[in-house]
Amino acid sequence: MHRARPSLAALLDAAHVVAIPTRTRFRGISVREAVVFEAPQGATEFSPFPEYTDAEAATWLRAAIEFGWDAAPGVVRDRVPVNATVPATDPDRVPEILARFPGCDTVKVKVAERGQSLADDVARVSAVRAALGPSGRLRIDANGGWSVAEARTALDALAPYRLDYVEQPCATVAELAELLPDAHARGTRIAADESVRKASDPLAVARAGAADLLVVKAQPLGGVRRARDIVVEAGLPVIVSSALDTSVGISMGLHLAASLPDELLAGACGLGTVALLDGDVTAESLLPDAGTLPVRRPPLDPDRLADFAAPPERDTWWRERLARCYTALPASDS
Classified as helix, coil or strand, 168 is: coil
Answer whether 255's CB lies under 8 Å from 52's CB: no
Q: What is the pLDDT of residue 25?
A: 82
Per-residue confidence (pLDDT) for residue 3, from 0 to 100: 67
Domain range list for the chain: 8-72+301-333, 79-294
The pLDDT score that the predictor gives to residue 334 is 57
The answer to whether the CB of 63 falls within 8 A of the CB of 325 is: no
CATH of 79-294, one of 3.40.1190.20, 3.30.565.10, 3.20.20.120, 3.30.930.10: 3.20.20.120
DSSP annotation string for 60-117? HHHHHHHHHHSPPPP-S-SEEEB-EEE-S--GGGHHHHHTTSTT--EEEEE---TT--
Q: Is 333 within any annotated ligand binding site?
A: no
β-strand partners of 240: 216
Determine the pLDDT at residue 2.
Answer: 57
Q: How many CB atoms lie within 10 A of CB 334?
A: 7
193 carries a ligand binding annotation: yes
Spatial contact of 111 and 121, defined as CB atoms under 8 Å apart: yes
| Helix, strand, coil distribution of the chain in percent, nearest 5 | 40, 20, 40
pTM: 0.95
- Residue 90 marked ligand-binding: no
Instruction: Report strand pairing: 44-46 vs 29-37.
Output: antiparallel
**What is the reported pLDDT for 4?**
77
In order along its 334 residues, the chain shows pLDDT tens digits of: 456 799 999 999 999 999 999 998 877 789 999 999 999 999 999 999 999 999 999 999 999 999 999 998 999 999 999 999 999 999 999 999 999 999 999 999 999 999 999 999 999 999 999 999 999 999 999 999 999 999 999 999 999 999 999 999 999 999 999 999 999 999 999 999 999 988 888 999 999 999 999 999 999 999 999 999 999 999 999 999 998 999 999 999 999 999 999 999 999 999 999 999 999 999 999 999 999 999 999 999 999 999 999 999 999 999 999 999 999 998 766 5
Three-state SS for 303?
helix
Whether 299 contacts 284, CB under 8 Å: yes
Record: fold of 8-72+301-333: Enolase-like; domain 1 (3.30.390)
User: What amino acid is encoded at 211 in this protein?
Assistant: A
The set of catalytic residues is 110, 217
Spatial separation of the C-alpha atoms in residues 164 and 257, rounded to whole Å: 20
Q: H helices of the chain, where?
A: 8-14, 54-69, 94-98, 118-132, 148-158, 173-185, 194-197, 204-207, 224-234, 247-259, 302-307, 312-327
CA distance 9 to 325: 13
pLDDT of residue 309: 98
Q: Please indicate whether the domains covering 8-72+301-333 and 79-294 agree at the CATH topology level.
A: no
